[in-house]
Amino acid sequence: MGRRGINRRQFIGKTAAGVFSAGLGIPLLKGNSFSQNAAEEIPTRTLGRTNLQIPILSFGVMNSDSPDLIRKAIDIGIKHLDTASAYLRGNSEMSIGKTLDEDKLRDKVYLATKMRFARDNDKNTFLESGPAREPLATKENFQKQLETSLQRLRTDHVDILYLHSCYSSEMVTYEPMMEALVNAKKEGKTRFIGTSTHSNEPEVIRATVDAGIYDVVLTAQSVTLDKKEDIKKAIAYAASKDIGVVAMKTHGGVRRNREADPGIDHKSAFKWVLSDENICTTIPGMTTFEQLDFNFNVVKNYALTASEEMAVRQASSIQNPLYCQNCRSCISSCPKGVEIPSLMRAYMYAEGYGNLLQAEMTAEVLPEEKGLKTCEECSTCSASCQYGIKIYERLQALFAQGLTRT
């Protein structure tokens, strides 16, 4: 597979300029359709045993570093901002911290951030040791990462601290990380702790509940997920044990550039997730005022109409989804055991979200023998997806965007 597109240094420079200058380079068009009493129009639910009352629409501040968008979200009644230490290489946390500090808004919102550590993909758990370039899953490195996040956010504590991107029960119950989270809570650096998951969601949700230490779980849920009903049952289990549930990936995916839009109605897809009252809130990523306006208007009345229910059924039957289902069965079809699900996630960021920086970060943390470098050396690709994702074409698209290990 030949290397294409701009080189890594050009890619980083181009991406950073696009992201940091104007929230991914997308014009922030100030909408004017918000009412004077907007905050009263967003229904609220209780986040499990935290007892936090949170509007069902929250702000996933993953792809934007716009202070104006953050301010507008808070103005219309959003009370929960979700970020992570790795988003925009820390610029998401810095933008939030600067905005809340300068506008004296910290006491008006609930802050959540996430800690991510290198993982051993062969064992479905975290690395205890590894190359010096990788952050290791130790309590010491957890503390360092948390202190960095608090400094960026300009606060002495967050409201929810997640162990980021767990895809197995072993990750959820990995003792060094559990101890680090519990210690952070005891020290007052977070009020509540939880896990986030994009893969094996039913297993991870149930393991989070059964671990007995967690307060919240953040899970992917979408009409396009093959296991959505199993996820829904696991969410109900969490709610029955008073564990707060937050949902992401709620709109069914956005297709750009290389693949035709299969006809997903994002309004009905979002409503379908909102209709599950076991979910306290949702964190769609937003980069424009138009997206904020769209989501605000959906949550005011999220009852599905007959035509929207039909749209949900159509979306549920779509083959070749944008989102990788993270079943991991594709790995065995690759003779070199490449971490294909992570590369498909990078594709999602690049092609679905237009977030090249997050795409690169997702790809670059993989060991060389499990990542794009290995794919680049292959002239053919035998890996296959049981859900119809065209793996080879998506890898080619990543190379065309400039992603590479060299």
279-310 confidence digits (pLDDT tens): 999 999 998 999 999 999 999 999 999 999 99
The pLDDT of residue 319 is above 70 = no
More confident residue, 344 or 179: 179
The pLDDT of residue 30 is above 50 = no
159-186 confidence digits (pLDDT tens): 999 999 999 999 999 999 999 999 999 9
Look at residues 59, 108, 109, 110 and name the one whose alpha carbon lies nearest to residue 87.
59
> Which runs of consecutive H residues, i.e. helices, occur in 108-227?
139-153, 169-172, 175-186, 201-211
- Identify the bridge partners of residue 245 per DSSP, sorted by sequence position: 217
Q: Are 44 and 54 in contact (CB under 8 A)?
A: yes
The encoded tokens of residue 103 equal 């506008």
> Which runs of consecutive H residues, i.e. helices, occur in 51-129?
67-75, 91-102
| Low-confidence winner among 69-78, 290-299, 365-374 (lowest mean pLDDT) | 365-374
pLDDT band, residue 154 (cuts 50/70/90)? very high
CA 167 to CA 93: how far, in whole Å? 24
The encoded tokens of residue 398 equal 């990543």
pLDDT band, residue 16 (cuts 50/70/90)? very low
Average pLDDT value for residue range 339-366: 79
pLDDT band, residue 321 (cuts 50/70/90)? low
| Low-confidence winner among 2-11, 215-224, 331-340, 366-375 (lowest mean pLDDT) | 2-11
Q: Are 231 and 225 in contact (CB under 8 A)?
A: yes
Question: If you search the block for the tokens 């690709």, which residue do you land on?
Answer: 381
pLDDT value of residue 301:
94
pLDDT value of residue 329:
85
Average pLDDT value over all residues in the chain: 85
207-251 confidence digits (pLDDT tens): 999 999 999 999 999 998 889 999 999 999 999 999 999 999 998
Structural domains of the chain in order of their starting residue, each with its CATH number: 1-29+324-406 (no CATH), 42-316 (3.20.20.100)
The pLDDT of residue 20 is above 60 = no
Chain centroid, CA 166 distance in Å: 12
Cα angle 212, 217, 220; round to 5:
145
Question: If you search the block for the tokens 């758990």, which residue do you land on?
Answer: 125
Q: What is the dihedral of CA 204, 205, 206, 207, to 10 degrees?
A: 40
pLDDT value of residue 3:
34
